[in-house]
Amino acid sequence: MMRFEGKTALVTGGSRGIGRAICLELAKGGASVVFCWAGNGAAAQETARAVEALGAKVLAVRCDVADAEQVDALVKAALEGFGRIDILVNNAGITRDNLLMRMSEADFDAVIAANLKGAFLCMKAVSRLMLKQRYGRIVNLGSVVGLRGNAGQVNYAASKAGIVGMTKSLAKELASRGVTVNAVAPGFIETGMTAVLPDSARAAALGSIPMNRLGAPEEVARAAAFLASDEAAYITGQVLAVDGGMAM
Ligand code: NAP
């Protein structure tokens, strides 16, 4: 039996990058996958086709995770499609980098809304179901930046540090009911998010990675899938760094 057979996974921001790799990793394990995306319909279609090619069922829903009504509609669509949600991966995220003195209030708010409030809304929307089922796996995407800070990313670091606090708090709330809540904290991963960084920033990041290379989305996806699996049943409230040793 495949490790996610009979399970339904909801992945936010599944159209590209790490989220897409997580959708594929869960599908490979036999999960039915519901994922959402924000604006890039072509990328979402590509992910949906790739999931289907693995023989898994898939549902792609356009949803801004920062909007409570859209999140409720996403969860409703998942339940209509597959009847249950066993795994939630809060992966959707954005950056709006700038030094604090030049950072606009709008850029601070946008990052907190997508990265932190989005995860809050999704966890709130599924936790009642998971409690009823007495089963659930929630995996949140943090970042090495939420653990160590990074110049130019006050907003992003705050959102990702918030993810850690939220993960540990909800883990305590749900632990006795078979629901685990953990986080993965990637380092510097090759995706659209990091492709836009200037060469100088990439070189500086590389210099702080003991393994001396960037990570691949699939390497983060395998860690997320482990935390979403039954093999991780006795692990909750943890933050697993997948960063080539960056945050040691
Ligand atoms: P990415 O390639 O930029 O992809 C971001 C994904 O999130 C896309 O699918 C995007 O949808 C979706 N998204 C963005 N805002 C959304 C919103 N408001 N509602 C719903 N979906 C939204 O990013 P990534 O590098 O894969 O990052 C994925 C996660 O890992 C993020 O939480 C990020 O902070 C975290 N992370 C990444 C790195 C890294 O080095 N790449 C390091 C540490 C942590 P569209 O395609 O429709 O735009």
The pLDDT, as a whole number, for residue 2 is 95
Which sequence spans correspond to the domains of the chain? 8-242
Ligand 1 centroid–CA 230 distance in Å is: 26
Q: Mean pLDDT, consecutive 10-residue segments, the chain of 248 residues?
A: 96 98 98 98 98 98 98 98 98 98 98 99 98 98 97 98 99 98 98 92 92 97 98 98 96
Ligand 1 centroid–CA 19 distance in Å is: 7
What is the position in ligand 1's atom list of the atom closest to the CA of 38?
47
The pLDDT, as a whole number, for residue 201 is 86
Residues with catalytic annotation? 156
Q: Whose CA is nearest to atom 3 of ligand 1?
A: 193
Are 240 and 186 in contact by the 8 Å Cβ rule? The answer is no
What is the position in ligand 1's atom list of the atom closest to the CA of 64?
19
The pLDDT, as a whole number, for residue 141 is 99
The pLDDT, as a whole number, for residue 1 is 87
Residues with CB under 6 A from ligand 1: 12-13, 15-19, 36-40, 43, 63-66, 91-94, 114, 118, 141, 143, 186, 188-189, 191-194
The pLDDT, as a whole number, for residue 184 is 98
Predicted TM-score (pTM) of this structure: 0.98
What is the position in ligand 1's atom list of the atom closest to the CA of 41?
47
Q: Whose CA is nearest to atom 23 of ligand 1?
A: 193
The pLDDT, as a whole number, for residue 110 is 99
The rounded distance, in Å, linking the Cα atoms of 162 and 113 is 12
Instruction: Determine the 3-state secondary structure of 189 from DSSP.
Output: strand
The rounded distance, in Å, linking the Cα atoms of 68 and 11 is 16
The pLDDT, as a whole number, for residue 97 is 96
Ligand 1 centroid–CA 193 distance in Å is: 7
Q: Whose CA is nearest to atom 6 of ligand 1?
A: 13
Query: Which class is 8-242 in CATH?
Result: alpha beta
The rounded distance, in Å, linking the Cα atoms of 155 and 165 is 16
Are 118 and 65 in contact by the 8 Å Cβ rule? The answer is yes
**DSSP one-letter string for 139-176:** EEE--HHHHH--TTBHHHHHHHHHHHHHHHHHHHHHGG
The pLDDT, as a whole number, for residue 133 is 97
